[in-house]
Structures are given as C-alpha cells and as structure tokens.
Amino acid sequence: MDQTPDILPQMPGQRLARGVARALRALDFVSVEEFVPTPGLRVDVLALGPKGEIWVIECKSNRADYMADQKWTGYLEWCDRFFWAVDADFPTELLPAGSGLILADAYGAEIIRMSPDTPLAAARRKVMVQKFARHAASRLQGLRDPTALISAWV
C-alpha cells in the first residue's frame, strides 16, 4: 500500500474509508462517503461499479465501534454487496461470516472475503444510482463553491 505522506482526516474510520476508496478506484469503482440511502441510515462508503453494481462498505476502527453499530442490517436492502472494512488489528472473528471483509488502512485496502451477490431490484438500483449522482455532484459543487451549499439552505 502506498505510504504517500499528506494531510489525513482526523478520525480512524475516515482514514479507513479513504484507503477503501483508493482500492475501489483501482477496481474501476467510484465512491462517496457518508451516504444516506434512506432517512435514519448513513453508510460510510457507497461504491458504484462499472456495470452499475452497488456496494456498501462499513468502516469499523475498533471493537467498540462495531459493537455499537445496530443499524448495519438495514444497509443490506440498499446494495448488491455488503462489506466491513477494518484495520489489521481488528478482531475479525466478531464480523458475520456471511458478509464481505476488507482489510484497510489510510493508504489502501484489499478485499479479503467477497460478499455474497444479492442483486437489487431494477427500480431500487435506479433510485440508488440517481441518489449517488446527486450526492456526488453536490459534493463536487461544494468543493468548487462552498457558499452554494449554504445558499441552498437559506
């Protein structure tokens, strides 16, 4: 994994998400962080593949972070594949065997166990791709023009 020095996000989960996003990009997936598929749920990383496949990746930085997550099963109906992303020190035996596993750090990641493929219905996929596009465009616009996001809420 590339150890290029730069400024990193402060939170451990955000560092894992960055490494996951880098690895997914190498697999021709694009991703967004902190995506809300439906009110009450927020996934750490949502990835969109070259054939329209949708993956959800939950980043867990430690045992307590994982144990506190009571909503993860709600993410399953919003993706084709579900993964946990953890660092090398995480006790992976805690994670459900029927889910995907990604070993990550701030600089990259590797899929250790592929998640089962549970294809979304066409209508749900269409909604998710549209939400993904709007989320990504909004983030890009916010980077180019931070005041545009503020004026949209006023």
d(CA 33, CA 36): 9
The pLDDT tens digits of the residues spanning 43-87 come to 999 999 999 999 999 999 999 999 998 889 999 999 999 999 999
What is residue 124's three-state secondary structure?
helix
Collect all residues with Cβ–Cβ distance below 8 Å to 133 and sequence separation of at least 6. Answer: none
Residues 128, 134, 138, 139: is their CA dihedral positive or negative?
Answer: positive
Provide the pLDDT confidence category of residue 154 given band limits of 50, 70 and 90. very low
What are the Cα distances from residue 149, in Å, to 61, 84, 86, 140? 30, 31, 32, 11
Question: Can you give the pLDDT at residue 6?
Answer: 57
Question: Can you give the pLDDT at residue 8?
Answer: 53
**pTM of structure:** 0.87
